[in-house]
Structure 1
Amino acid sequence: MGGFVAGPDCCGGLCNMDFRQADLCVMTWLLGYVDPSDPHFVAAVLAITFNPLFWNVVARWEQKTHKLSKAFGSPYLACYSLGGAILLLNILRSHCFTQAMLSQPKMESLDNPTAHRVALMLLGVGSTLVLSSFLALGFTGTFLGDYFGILKEARVTTFPFSVLDNPMYWGSTANYLGWALMHASPTGLLLTAVVALIYMTALLFEEPFTAEIYRQKASQSYRRR
C-alpha cells in the first residue's frame, strides 16, 4: 500500500491507562496499519453489519405477520429457507473478510509460530462452540425458529450453554480472530472487533425480544390450565 505506514507507538504506556483509554489506543494503533477506504475493507464491514440486521428484521416481520410461513405453507419450511439465506450470507461475509485481509499488508510481528499456535487454538475453540451450539439447538433453534412459533419446551442448558451465554456468537468471533491471527492481519483484527461490536449490539435487541416470546408462551400455557 503506497504511502501507508504504521501508526505511532501510542501503546507503550498501557499500564498507566484505564481500559477505555487502552481500547482507544489499540484501535488507533490498528488503524495505522489499515486502509479503511479500501473497497474490500468497506465490503467486509457492510457484510458484517448487514447480516444480523437482515435476520433480525426478517424474523421480527415474520413473528408479527407470519407472511413467510403463509408463503411457504409451513413455518418449518419458512424457517429452513431463512436459515439457508443466513448461511449463504455468512459465507459471503467470510469471503469479504478474507479478501479484505489479503488486500492489505501483514503485520510482521504477528507472523510467528506463537501467534499461529494461538490462532489454531482460537479456531478450535470457536469451531467447538459453533458446532456444539448447533447440535444443542438444532436447525430451527439455531436459525430463529422461535420467531416462527417453533418453540422449545425448555431453555437449553447443556454444553456449551452451561458454560457461556450466546456461544454461537462468541464462537464465531473466536473463529474470525483466529483467522486474522493466522494471516497476521491487522485488517482482520480490526474487522473482528467490528464483528464483536455488531454481535453485542444485536444481542441488545434479540435477547429481550426472545425472552418476551417465551414469556407470552408461558402466560398462554398458564391461562389454559
Structure 2
Amino acid sequence: MEFEAQSLTCRRGEAIVLRDVSFRVRAGEALILRGPNGSGKTTLLRTLAGLTPAVAGKVTAPTEAMAYGAHADGLKAQLTVAENLAFWAAAFGTGPAAAARAEAAFDLAPLRNRRAADLSAGQKRRAALARLVLTDRPIWLLDEPTVSLDAENTARFAAAVQAHLASGGAALIATHIDLGLPETRLLDISTFAARGTPDRAADPFAEAVE
C-alpha cells in the first residue's frame, strides 16, 4: 500500500520540531529515517500513527492502515508469550492462524509458555515485533526496532520486513542499522528541522547502498 506525507508540521509537546515534511513510500518499499538523537524521528512516526496530531499538512493513508512499533514493548507482563499474541490477534481480529505465523516469524515457540515478565530484553523485543505480523496492516511504522536484538534476531526481523514488503506492504523505519532490504531509500529527517537546519541539498533522499 502506497502512502504519502504532504507538508507535515509536527510538534513534540508545545514545541514545533519538524516543518514541511513531504515524502512518498510505495508499496513494496521501505523508507529508512536517519538523523541524530532528538531530530524528530519518533515525533514523525507518532504523528503518522495518529498519536500526536499534525500541526499542518496531511497523510494520505488512514491510521487504521498503520501498525506502530514504539520503543516500549507493550507486553502484558503477567501473560505468557502465547497469551500476549492471542490477545493481540483477538484485538486486531486476525485470529489464531495469524498468531501462529507471528510466533514462527520470530522463533517464539520455545518461549510461548513463559511469562513476559520473565523474558530477557531481547526476547521481549522479539515478542513485541511479532505483534506486527499479526496486525495484518499494510504500513509498518517502526522506531529503532532492533534495539536489544542480537545479530541472528536482527536478521530474523529483516526477513519479516522483507516478507511484508514482498506481500505489497510498506515500511517506514527509524534505524541506524543496515538491514540489507531491497527497494530501500534513506530520508535524513534533520532536513526538515524547524530551527537551525544546516544547508543541505534540496532533495533529502538518497538511494541506499547495498
When normalised by structure 2's length, the TM-score is 0.25
* Higher relative contact order, structure no. (Cα contacts within 8 Å, ≥ 6 residues apart): 2
**By percentage of residues, which structure has more strand?**
2
When normalised by structure 1's length, the TM-score is 0.24
